[in-house]
Every structure is written in structure tokens, then in C-alpha cells.
Copies of this chain bind each other. A is one copy, B any other.
Amino acid sequence: MITRASTWQRTSGGVTAPRGYLASGVHCGIKQRKRDLALVVSEAPASVAGVFTTNRVKAAPVLWCQEVVRRGVARAVVVNSGNANACTGERGWLDAREMAERTAAALGVAPEEVLVASTGVIGVPLPMDAVRRGIPLAAASLSRSGEEAAEAILTTDAFPKTSAVVTTVGGVQVTVGGMAKGAGMIHPRLATTLCFLTTDAYLPAPVLREALSRAVAESFNRITVDGDTSTNDTVLALANGRAGAPVVEGGEDLERFTQALTAVAQDLARMVVRDGEGAQRLVEVVVEGAADEQDAERAAFAIATSLLVKTMLHGGEPNWGRVVAAVGYSGAQVDERRVAVWFGDVQVVREGLGVEGVFDRAAAALRGEEVTVRVDLGLGPGRARVWTCDLGEEYVRINGSYIT
């Protein structure tokens, strides 16, 4: 989808790039020093869609958002970092609701129109005193800049993640923007990816849901850092119609809009992977020639999550046997004698056997900041692409000892 780039163009900014959105990010005291409370507000009621963690243990804000999304209309998103409000029981639910209520009061909207997201430590109640201080502060500092909001949702992330593109709907220019957090679920007790997408196009909630679900399938559902699914994963999309373009109901307009939304979601998803702590490389895994698409996905995810492959990518040494072994246990149909493997543009396996004399070139291909591992199973039309990162010692260090 991202290859048909002609239907959209990158632009500057993040969640406030589309018309009619304001944002802010403040420090309220959940974290020691850094910004920890973000607010994104739509000037007009927006239709809303969401995709949430499949973890059966869902943080309180996820449960709250699911109710808002079911109604399909939202005005604002309030997000705190530093605490996930997960595994916090009845109290967690009351705290999430209070966050919505206080934000609604500060903005003069209904609590049922306020989305809530949290990221940080699991199992510790939210420090509500800080949150109560922060909400009016955030409401008072709303502006057309999304930068501070993009900072305030971070935890161990090394950099803020924003993206925006423009496309047209019925000949009228519309903008899609977004911000995300998530250094790959790799910080102690932090296990969250959050993504907030905005647009000044208007799509009725069910149509927005369809577009979001397609965009997520090609972005956040295609990345893996450590295979752990968090209790807080949340991707939200708001569409407020402020561009004045025709309502997107289907057809070519929906197609174009979905491509733009997918482009922003892919940008952000790739940034999340690239920011994996301990990781040096963004790795694209492509599986082609699988019996069908499901098989291609199985094989691609087996490669992308294999510790042996990920540590190999860290070291940058072309041990292709690990890639073939991962394909072999993925559940995908495999005929060993048809398998071909490339590291970058260097073919290392042909008809299931190692290609001689390419070790040094293959090693060089694995040592860039962006690496491609491509496998052709030689069986059928199935194709899938996922993104992962290498696994470094730093991952273990960060996740193994954060107190001592």
C-alpha cells in the first residue's frame, strides 16, 4: 500500500497538522522531571475509531476508551505517561473515569467524549494528586503545536514520534497526522504502544473504523520488538471534518484516505521499532512465494521474533541457518529444496543450500541501520512484510536491573 506513494505527500507536524486540533504536554509530577501529561483536543466533535490490545488483562483506560469508541464521537484525548493504570482493579477504573471527567470539565465538553490513555508502570495506582494538578495546566496551555504532547506521552523512548501527510478527498486537500510512543515494550514494567491519529477529513465512525483497521493491519500489527503484548496498547483515530472536504463514505476517496492513514501509521510504527532499546537496526522481513498470505505472515513473524535471528542481526553475522530454521518451525508450508534467502541484495541461500563465497558481502549487508531479510519459499503467491529490530545486550541490561 505504501508503495503507491503518489496519492499522498508528507507534510510537517504531528497530531495538530490537520485543521481544528490543539494539543499540549505538561509536567505534573507522575514522572520526576519530564513531561507526563498530554492533551489533544478537537475543536469540533470528531468521529472516533480505536484498536486496542488483545491482552485479556486490559488496563482501565483501555476499557474506558472502548466505551467511548462504541459511541463513536470524541472531543479530546488525555494521556499520562509514567504509570499504566493497569492491574489496578476498581480503583484504576475510577481513576480513569476521573481523568475523563476532569478533562471534560476543563474543556467544557461531556466526559463521554474524552478518551483516556496511560503508559508506564503496571500494578501501581495512579498518583491522582499529580493528575488533578496536571489537567487544568494542560488545558490552559493548548496550542497549535503538537510537539510537547508528543514528548509527554513518552516513557523510555529515545525520541518523539510524529508524522503527517496530505491527500485529497473529492478534490479538497485533507491532512492526516499522528504521534506515537513505545520503545518496544522493553522498559521494566512498561509495556505499551500508544498511537493517536488525527484528520480534518470526515468519515462516519464505521467508515473510520474500517480505514483504521486496514491501516493498523499494515503498520502496528506488522511490528514486533519482543513478542510481548501489552495491557495498554491503544491506537485511536479522530476525524473532525474541519478541512471542509466531502464526507468519506467509500470508493476512491476512502481508498486514498486509507492510504494516507496507513502511511502515517507505518511511519510511526517503524519509528517505534527503530527506537527499541538496545537495538541498532530497523529490520524489514519480507517473505514471498509462500503457499498463501497466512503462511507468509507465519514465516515472517517466526523470523522476526526468533531470538537466534535477532541476536544474529545484532552481531551482523550472516548465519542464514537460523532464518531457515525459523521458517521451518513457523507452521508455514516449506519445501526446503525451494527456499531462497537474501540479506539485503546478497543471496545467501539458493534451493535450500548455502551460496558459496558471499559471506563478507552478506555480513556487510547486515550491518546497516536498515536491513532487509528476504525469503522466497518458491511455493505460491503469499507475501508478507513485517518490521523488527535486533536484540542487543542493552535490552537485557535495561529489563533485568532497573532498581539496582
Residues of A within 8 A of B (CB): 53-58, 84, 86-89, 121-124, 185-186, 188-189, 191, 226-231, 305-308, 311-312, 314-317, 319-322, 324-329, 332-334, 336-337, 339, 349, 351-354, 390-393, 395-397, 399-404
A-B contact pairs, 10 of them (CB 8 A): A54-B329, A84-B321, A87-B324, A87-B352, A121-B321, A226-B307, A228-B307, A231-B324, A311-B396, A312-B399
Contact B228 A326 (CB under 8 A): yes
Contact A122 B337 (CB under 8 A): no
A332 to chain B, nearest CB (A): 8
**A57-B327, A322-B191 known; A337 and B89 CB under 8 Å?**
yes
8 interchain residue pairs of minimum CB distance: A122-B321, A57-B328, A315-B400, A311-B399, A229-B329, A315-B401, A55-B328, A314-B400
Contact B191 A308 (CB under 8 A): yes
Closest to A313 in B: B400
**A337-B89, A354-B87 known; A314 and B396 CB under 8 Å?**
yes
Copies of this chain per assembly: 2
A326 to chain B, nearest CB (A): 7
Contact B228 A321 (CB under 8 A): no
CA distance A312 to B404 in the complex (A): 12
Contact B308 A228 (CB under 8 A): yes
A226 to chain B, nearest CB (A): 4
Contact B306 A227 (CB under 8 A): yes
CA distance A95 to B325 in the complex (A): 20
Q: Which residues of B contact A397 (CB under 8 A)?
A: 393
Contact B403 A317 (CB under 8 A): yes
Q: Which residues of B contact A328 (CB under 8 A)?
A: 55-58, 229, 231
